[in-house]
């Protein structure tokens, strides 16, 4: 059976909750999830000094086999993603191939600065709206417009993750997971 693959990009200073909540929820939904080191090292330290062992490196990402690329927020994680040319090339490739892009908290800034949110509804961490060039800012936990899903922040990580499941699989699976995980 073909399994949908999701790559979650980890840069030094990523927000742990925004990376690991989607990883957990998507795996519970039966998707293949890879935590990707963008640093060249197998372990990446988050913004709250939690060190995470990744599954692969940026050079291992096979976009043709993937359904989604996910950018967690956090600082300086988001600025490290934005400064990484190979990350931006990968984002561009996913966008041009009409594959899913997801970003939460400060990370929608990366998509906004690349002008990928123009004419779309999007959300982000309060104060980062100025980076969502051409987007209609929406104050919701998770927003899906086209093949781009954005999330507001740590407190929205579960709603964001369930929206990813809703879009990648279906509403019934998202509702079943919500019930099993006792999400309010």
Residue 135 has pLDDT above 70, yes or no: yes
Number of domain units in the chain: 1
pLDDT above 80 (res 44):
yes
- pLDDT tens-digit profile of 76-134? 999 999 999 999 999 999 999 999 999 999 999 999 999 999 999 999 999 999 999 99
pLDDT band at 2, cuts 50/70/90?
A: low
- Spatial separation of the C-alpha atoms in residues 160 and 179, rounded to whole Å: 16
Number of Cβ within a 10 Å radius of residue 167:
18
Q: What is the pLDDT of residue 55?
A: 98
Structure confidence at residue 183 (pLDDT): 95
The helix-helix angle for 171-180 and 16-28 (nearest 10°) equals: 110
10 Å CB burial of residue 116 (0-12, 13-18, 19+) is buried
Proportion of the chain above pLDDT 90, given as a percent: 98
pLDDT > 70? residue 12: yes
From the list 80, 82, 7, 18, the residue with the least C-alpha distance to 48 is 18
Q: Tell me the mean pLDDT in the region 31-47.
A: 98
How much is the pLDDT for 1?
A: 42
The pLDDT tens digits for 150-165 are 999 999 999 999 999 9
The CATH number given to whatever domain includes residue 31 is 3.40.50.880
Domain interval for residue 62: 5-180
Confidence at residue 175, expressed as pLDDT on a 0 to 100 scale: 97
């Amino acid at each position: 059976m073909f399994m949908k693959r999701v790559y979650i990009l980890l840069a030094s200073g990523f927000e742990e909750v925004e990376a690991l909540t989607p990883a957990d929820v998507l795996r519970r939904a039966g998707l293949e999830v890879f935590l990707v080191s963008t640093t060249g090292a197998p372990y990446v330290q988050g913004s709250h000094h939690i060190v995470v062992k990744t599954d692969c490196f940026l050079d291992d990402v096979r976009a043709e086999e993937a359904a989604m690329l996910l950018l967690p927020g956090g600082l300086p994680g988001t600025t490290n993603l934005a400064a990484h040319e190979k990350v931006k090339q990968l984002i561009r490739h996913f966008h041009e191939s009409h594959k899913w892009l997801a970003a939460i908290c400060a990370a929608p800034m990366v998509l906004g600065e690349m002008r990928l949110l123009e004419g779309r509804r999007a959300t982000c961490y309060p104060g980062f709206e100025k980076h969502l060039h051409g987007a209609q800012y929406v104050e919701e936990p998770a927003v899906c417009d086209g093949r781009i899903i954005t999330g507001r922040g740590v407190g929205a990580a579960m709603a964001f993750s369930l929206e990813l499941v809703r879009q990648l699989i279906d509403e019934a699976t998202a509702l079943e997971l919500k019930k099993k995980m006792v999400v309010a």
